[in-house]
Structure 1
Amino acid sequence: MEEERQEKKAVALRYNMEEDAVPKVIAAGKGAVAENILKAAEENEIVIHQNDKLVKELIQFKVGTEIPQELYEVVAQILVYVEAMDKEKSLKLKDI
């Protein structure tokens, strides 16, 4: 028997320490919308981090919503990861 494929889901967060008190949901969706979010991230060289459990939580919120306090820790860990990837990318570009 073939396993049913789960519909792809994606959530985009924005956090600028100088402008935002906490991260906000700036895009969220399933299926084609999720594909477009991921495509836009790739085209703009934005780091993509897969965390199905977190997406399941965040996809419930409307665009523009600040993330709830109970998700601060896990989102902070992802932001640290993203920052490290951005720094690594910058270092590689300097070597070129």
Structure 2
Amino acid sequence: MTEKRYVRQAAALKYDAAKKQAPVLAASGKGLTAEAIIKRAQDNGVPIQQDPALVGLLAELEVNEMIPADLYEAVAEVFAFIYQADKQAGK
């Protein structure tokens, strides 16, 4: 029996309403790259939401690509999470 190894995966989103109509994928990666994305978010006080299914879908996009309409609802939930986390932190 072979053991499946879990490889950490991460994605980062950014949104500037003045420049884009939808959020874009700012970074994406697996393994050490994912760890670096997560560490940078932690170092900068960026809230982190764990959603492996969404990260898997975002990983199919190119960096700086706009989020497709079929992912708007899931991405909106991420931004709502960030808004609430910032609100609780007094930001």
- Shift of residue 47, structure 1, vs aligned partner: 0.5
| Residue of structure 2 in register with 1:65 after alignment | 65
Distance 1:42 1:31 in 2: 17
Q: Which runs of 4+ in 1 moved over 3 A?
A: none
- Shift of residue 31, structure 1, vs aligned partner: 0.5
Please report the TM-score for the alignment, with normalisation by the length of structure 2.
Answer: 0.91
| Residue of structure 2 in register with 1:6 after alignment | 6
Which one has the largest radius of gyration?
A: 1
Please report the TM-score for the alignment, with normalisation by the length of structure 1.
Answer: 0.87
Q: Secondary structure at the match of 1:80?
A: helix
Q: State, as a whole percentage, how many aligned pairs show the same letter.
A: 36
- Residue 88 of structure 1 pairs with residue 71 of structure 2: no
| Residue of structure 1 in register with 2:42 after alignment | 42
Deviations 1:24-74 (A, max 9, x none): 001000010000000000000000000010001000111000000000011
| Residue of structure 2 in register with 1:94 after alignment | none
Distance 1:83 1:16 in 2: 15
- Shift of residue 3, structure 1, vs aligned partner: 4.5
Gap runs ≥5 in structure 2: none
Q: Which structure features the higher share of helix residues?
A: 1
> Given residue 67 of structure 2, which amino acid in structure 1 is its aligned partner?
I
- Shift of residue 81, structure 1, vs aligned partner: 1.2
Distance 2:10 2:59 in 1: 7
Q: Over the residues paired in the alignment, what is the CA RMSD in angstroms? A: 1.7
- Shift of residue 18, structure 1, vs aligned partner: 3.5
> Given residue 29 of structure 1, which amino acid in structure 2 is its aligned partner?
G
